[in-house]
Amino acid sequence: MSWRLRATRLAMGGTAGIVSASFANCHTATPTDSASKLKSTLSSGTQKINVAPDHMLFAIPKKGRLNEKIVAMLKGSGFDYSRPERLDIAHCKDLPVSIVFLPASDIATYVAEGNVDLGITGEDIIEESGATVNVLMKLGFGKCRLSVQAPKGQCEDVRKLAGSRIATSFPELTKKFFAQYEDGKPTSVKVISGSVEASCGLGLADGIVDLVETGTTMRAAGLEEVAVLMDTQAVLISNPKTSYPELVETVRRRLGGYQTAQRFVMCTYNVHRDNLNEVRAPPPPHRRCRRCRRVARVARAAPPPRRQRRRVIRPCAQPPLLRAAPASRVARLRRA
């Protein structure tokens, strides 16, 4: 794919220039020529950043809560990069990968058209854009649901909203959903880019189709959920005809390793060499403490005396409540 990278420097009085970079896709380009991506040089003041032609492009959302989680995941997966100020591209130091920061709603289209090879976006964006991409893995965050919402107490059946006014940021999914309930009269779908929940209160729409995560914003606007179109979360996607299949697999394995590591905790400790065999032995079974409901380890060797055994299955260090116990019981506990 032949690319041009336009760098525009705006001089503002005596201050330093502001560099803004944007990608322009040449209309005569072919999707197979991915080796010529980003051959231009970015200038930021006196600093020059050369983009290697063999770098794979990896698109992630440029802002929002999804961006924060993805950046943390990339750092935990070993992607070492530095993002120059006011530039939407960063280059990894240990991998031939360039990270491009794009709007989340456009990433699926960029990946499907071959402008970038790899990307992270939501499943709802993929369905809305109709992009043909390979979903490599689900990332487990950004979970929410795309649902039909209406003013509370006014509509209990979603079929009553068919043929009425619906405001949404997902027009294609909305039209496809309400088409199955329409009876001659088409549903009027109004496209709203933000604050969709205010459409009903302002009289613009009779219902909305929007994403719901916790439902706090929905309830604050006086709305209730009528039907769910789909459940969605962040996913890793790739272009089916990418020129870097091995590098795509490397990135997928790194992110998969990060997800696996998040489910475990590593404990390290020092032990004398003479006790090494005992440490390597399988751990003893568990038994639930009757007082604190915790799980304690009980040795599988010869059973200890009754008093010591009672102490073993009490892992909590908190003493019993002596004030609520009878005097005879307090005496026995103190002797123990």
SS (H, E, C) 264-287: CCCCCCCCCHHHHHHHHCCCCCEE
Q: What percent of the chain has pLDDT over 90?
A: 46
Segment 21-67, tens digit of pLDDT:
333 333 333 333 433 444 343 333 334 445 567 889 999 999 888 89
Q: What is the mean pLDDT of residues 259-284?
A: 80
Q: Kindly indicate the confidence band of residue 210, based on its pLDDT and cuts at 50, 70 and 90.
A: very high
Q: Write the DSSP string, 7-34.
A: EEEE--TTSPPEEEEEEEE-TT--TT-G
Q: Kindly indicate the confidence band of residue 290, based on its pLDDT and cuts at 50, 70 and 90.
A: low
Distance CA(222)–CA(207), nearest Å, equals: 12
Comparing 316 with 249, which gets the higher pLDDT?
249
User: pTM value?
Assistant: 0.66
| Tokens 């010869």 -> residue | 302
Query: Worst-scoring range by mean pLDDT, 173-187, 205-219, 232-246, 302-316?
Result: 302-316
Check whether 102 has a pLDDT greater than 60: yes
Comparing 327 with 90, which gets the higher pLDDT?
90
User: What domains lie within the chain, and their CATH numbers?
Assistant: 3-140+234-261 (3.40.190.10), 144-232 (3.40.190.10), 274-335 (no CATH)
Query: Worst-scoring range by mean pLDDT, 28-42, 64-78, 92-106, 204-218?
Result: 28-42
Q: What is the mean pLDDT of residues 318-325?
A: 45
Check whether 207 has a pLDDT greater than 80: yes
- Give the Å distances, CA to CA, from 309 to 7, 59, 282, 288, 328: 75, 59, 21, 13, 21
